[in-house]
Structure 1
Amino acid sequence: MHAVVGGPIHWDLALRERMIDGLWERDAPMAHLVEWMFTSGGKASKALFEQALERGIESVPNAPDELRAFFARIDRRPEWVDMAKVRRGARAINAIGKVAIYIARDLFMMGGYLLAGFNEQLMMTGALHKGSGKRFAETASWASDTVAPDGLERFGAGFKSTIRVRMVHALVNRAIERNPQWDSDMWGLPINQTDMLATILGTALVGFTGRLLGVPVTRDECDAVIHYGRYLAWIIGVKDDFLFDSTHEGIRFLMHATSTHPRGGESARALARSLAVEPLTRHYGQFEWLRRRYEHSKHLSMSRFLVGKKGLAKLGLPAIPPWYPVLTIPGRFVWQAVHRAMPGGYGRLVERGRREQLRLIAIFHEGARSAGGIIQPDPSHPAHV
């Protein structure tokens, strides 16, 4: 294992203190831009922001200084970014296929509910009322934009979606911090640097985690996925000293970031139940009753394998046997290995895998084919403008 992750992972009290401090740190550039929007007229200012995002800041005549300063920052790609490597990382995630979706849903989202600090702001933004399944479909759609061909180029779908998500984060902070129900002394900022880091690390470690489910992801692919994740973290507003540059550092940061949250609680159980029953609401053309129950059992078995029996118990979910991963790992490994050894096989894995991911996202919630629910919140959401 040490050879795979680049060495042993040691507990570091100084790093944990940095992660604790990060709970009270915001994305300052976007927070400043949002304050300008509200003081100069929300909807008109947001329209200027959208124009600059879609067509470039030079398309905005006499652009306000605040808008020009923000786009000067995001239009200037950091020198460390290797776009060829970013593209390889995105292709590696596509090559994993539907396994990437299972990891995101049944490990990172379900397991993330164990972290009680995340859950308070989710509950206050209406995540339970919306349904965890819809929220996952929207989040997965945004992530899918980022791994689309050239998705993280300046005018790519993923880059633009990520900047919009970044604005929503700042709007959520602005709204919830003004809510007397929010205890900043106890919970930190609703969306903070440490939690943003942990969220992006879920994406950046998909390649490494794919190995658990039988995908023979190479070391070079894992490195490329980490580089893709590091650039994605920069775009979404993670501060420079939290930007990871290896699988080893990513796991180390994730371990220390998640340690800042207490585990479980009633909000965790409520959100987990909402996600667990999501397959029972899906729409299928044929054999709907049977397929719903099959998918319900399949996802619970994936969470049992990836989150563990104790984790599911804290979430109030039944720890059923991990039958789906046990049955599918051998065949998946053979399928992947054979295609990776064939001329042109890797390209076919990438194309097929992306089709699988898009098909699953569409199934997760009827109509959830884009990141619109995140980047264009409805009037009941704290980030609505």
Structure 2
Amino acid sequence: MTTRQVPRTIPTSLRRVPEARERFGSFADRYLDAMADGDPLADAFVADFPALGHGRAMRMLRTACREGIAAVPDAPASLVALFAELDAVPAWHDADAIDRDSRHTSRYSRASGIVLGAASLVSGYANSAASRPLELTGRYVENAGARTIEVGSWLLAVNQPGGLTRFSDGFELTVRVRIIHALVRASLRERPDWDTAAWGLPISQSYLAYTLVEFTLIPLRAMRRIGAPYLAHEEAAAYARWRYLGHLLGIEDGLLPRNAAEQERLEEIYLLTRPVVDDYCRALVASINREFLVPEIQGVLPQRLGGQAPRVVHALERLFLGDEIADELAIPRTRLTRVLAVVGPVLSLVNHLRDLVPGTLGPRTRKGKAYEVEQEQRLRRDWNVQHDLVDASPGGGRPHPARGDG
């Protein structure tokens, strides 16, 4: 049950609302209403932060994640209630099946790293309301590399075998992401520059639910387009994994997609109603391209082709996003997009046939896992990032509510 946190009004920045109601019926009503909904359990715990002290509250949270709520004898009722939900594993969740069916997905780790930046993250920037919290907390334009590494490290943890179990690193990171969202939500609601009438509640249920599309449907589709397709049971495991992650993140059942079809429906209504792209959206894309994606592609290309890295990044983004959104985000057009569109299906067929050859998945997976470790270490060294999430990032820069200094 979700507690309404702002008046029941449709944000004025949304477009084509009547068409959405006509096409999606009762689901549109729930999606639009949820623009006013936050995360009651996480929000209640964050409301206790002033009395507890930010540092003490976060230590309580980490202890409850690592040792259980019983290990926090002075835990406030809000934290006890939060972990009562987190500790109750839904009957539909089967972690063993997810681990079994996704044990070879790391064979495509090189491609998935590119897709994370050029598809998953960039796709969210075509919505000026959903990306507004990034603008007001300064997390991307000021340091795109650090933020991308934070997201990548979280995804690496939750995709490890056992990464969804109760006392795993992936579980703790996911719960901390949930509290970071609540801290940002509480901070922005108090700011005079947050326009509730236009944007709804910061990090609302509707936009939070769409993050599952960004990390499941969109990357799976993008992987196929660049010739790195997963097998059918691997894709099913990805949807199952993110259904549970969505539950841990506090997404209500009415918006939590269970499968590919429900993610596709969520993507359709999101794209139909999304606010217009603004200059900040374009600045986000320019920042992640300039500060992260182009340097990363330059490191992959032969030295003589390093100057083509921006063109490769733009081609990938246009392939993943489509020309309409890419035009709105001011991503330059390039003929290389058409080349990738032709080459991708051929590579997909070749790699799919490779996947069916007995005995090949294991060695390729081990090679991919070794690359993940090397890549994680290299990125942290190159970008001087030692923390995992923003709540543990060093101070000294722009204040952030997750650190307790904003």
TM-score class normalised by the smaller sequence: 0.7 to 0.9
- Listed one character per residue, the Cα deviations across residues 148-188 of structure 1 (whole Å, up to 9, x for unaligned) are 12111111111110001111000001111111000111101
Shift of 1:189: 1.5
Which residue in the other structure is 2:325 paired with?
A: 311
CA spacing shift, 1:186–1:297, aligned 2, 3 Å? same
Shift of 1:140: 1.6
Query: Retained in 2: the 8 A contact 1:298–1:324?
Result: no
1:212 aligns to 2:225 (yes or no): yes
- Aligned partners of 2:191 and 2:304: how far apart in 1? 44
- Aligned partners of 2:139 and 2:348: how far apart in 1? 34
Q: State which drifts further: 17-26 or 122-131.
A: 122-131
Which residue in the other structure is 2:346 paired with?
A: 330
- Aligned partners of 1:208 and 1:310: how far apart in 2? 17
Which residue in the other structure is 1:166 paired with?
A: 178
- Aligned partners of 2:198 and 2:165: how far apart in 1? 38
- Listed one character per residue, the Cα deviations across residues 64-110 of structure 1 (whole Å, up to 9, x for unaligned) are 33322221211111111111232245436434322222222112222
Task: Could you tell me which runs of 5 or more consecutive residues in structure 1 were left unpaired when the two chains were aligned.
Answer: 1-9
Which residue in the other structure is 1:255 paired with?
A: 268
1:64 aligns to 2:76 (yes or no): yes
Shift of 1:359: 4.3
Query: Retained in 1: the 8 A contact 2:128–2:280?
Result: yes
- Aligned partners of 1:53 and 1:202: how far apart in 2? 26
1:372 aligns to 2:388 (yes or no): yes
Query: Retained in 2: the 8 A contact 1:141–1:371?
Result: no
2:58 maps to which of 32, 46, 69: 46
Query: What letter matches 1:355 in structure 2?
Result: A
1:121 aligns to 2:136 (yes or no): no
- Aligned partners of 2:207 and 2:322: how far apart in 1? 22
- Aligned partners of 1:128 and 1:208: how far apart in 2? 25
- Aligned partners of 2:101 and 2:39: how far apart in 1? 25
Which residue in the other structure is 1:267 paired with?
A: 280
CA spacing shift, 1:187–1:93, aligned 2, 3 Å? farther
Query: Retained in 2: the 8 A contact 1:280–1:292?
Result: no
Task: Could you tell me which runs of 5 or more consecutive residues in structure 2 were left unpaired when the two chains were aligned.
Answer: 1-21
* TM-score, structure 2 as length reference: 0.83
- Aligned partners of 1:285 and 1:106: how far apart in 2? 16
Q: Secondary structure at the residue paired with 2:48?
A: helix
- Aligned partners of 1:375 and 1:145: how far apart in 2? 17
Shift of 1:335: 3.9
Query: What letter matches 1:343 in structure 2?
Result: P
Q: Secondary structure at the residue paired with 1:11?
A: helix
Which residue in the other structure is 2:363 paired with?
A: 348
* TM-score, structure 1 as length reference: 0.87
- Aligned partners of 2:66 and 2:125: how far apart in 1? 34
Query: What letter matches 2:322 in structure 1?
Result: G
1:18 aligns to 2:33 (yes or no): no
Shift of 1:326: 4.5
Query: Retained in 1: the 8 A contact 2:220–2:229?
Result: no
CA spacing shift, 1:260–1:320, aligned 2, 3 Å? same
Q: State which drifts further: 259-268 or 151-160.
A: 259-268
Which residue in the other structure is 1:237 paired with?
A: 250
2:310 maps to which of 270, 273, 296: 296
- Count of aligned residue pairs for this structure pair: 375
- Aligned partners of 1:235 and 1:371: how far apart in 2? 22
Query: Retained in 2: the 8 A contact 1:94–1:147?
Result: no
- Aligned partners of 1:89 and 1:179: how far apart in 2? 45
Which residue in the other structure is 1:7 paired with?
A: none
- Aligned partners of 2:44 and 2:65: how far apart in 1? 17
Moved over 6 A (4+): 283-289, 368-371
- Aligned partners of 1:133 and 1:375: how far apart in 2? 16
Q: State which drifts further: 69-78 or 360-369.
A: 360-369
Which residue in the other structure is 2:198 paired with?
A: 186
Shift of 1:316: 1.4
Shift of 1:126: 0.4
Query: What letter matches 1:374 in structure 2?
Result: V
- Aligned partners of 2:299 and 2:313: how far apart in 1? 20
1:109 aligns to 2:121 (yes or no): yes
Query: Retained in 2: the 8 A contact 1:106–1:306?
Result: yes
CA spacing shift, 1:208–1:370, aligned 2, 3 Å? farther
- Aligned partners of 2:343 and 2:33: how far apart in 1? 44
> Percent of aligned positions with the same letter in both sequences?
25
- Aligned partners of 1:194 and 1:286: how far apart in 2? 37
Q: Secondary structure at the residue paired with 2:130?
A: helix
CA spacing shift, 1:368–1:324, aligned 2, 3 Å? farther
Shift of 1:287: 9.5
Within 5 Å, give how 1:147-162 maps onto structure 2. 147-162=159-174
Q: Secondary structure at the residue paired with 1:113?
A: helix
Query: What letter matches 1:109 in structure 2?
Result: L
Query: Retained in 2: the 8 A contact 1:133–1:274?
Result: no
- Listed one character per residue, the Cα deviations across residues 358-377 of structure 1 (whole Å, up to 9, x for unaligned) are 54455556246676243424
Within 5 Å, give how 1:2-17 maps onto structure 2. 11-17=23-29
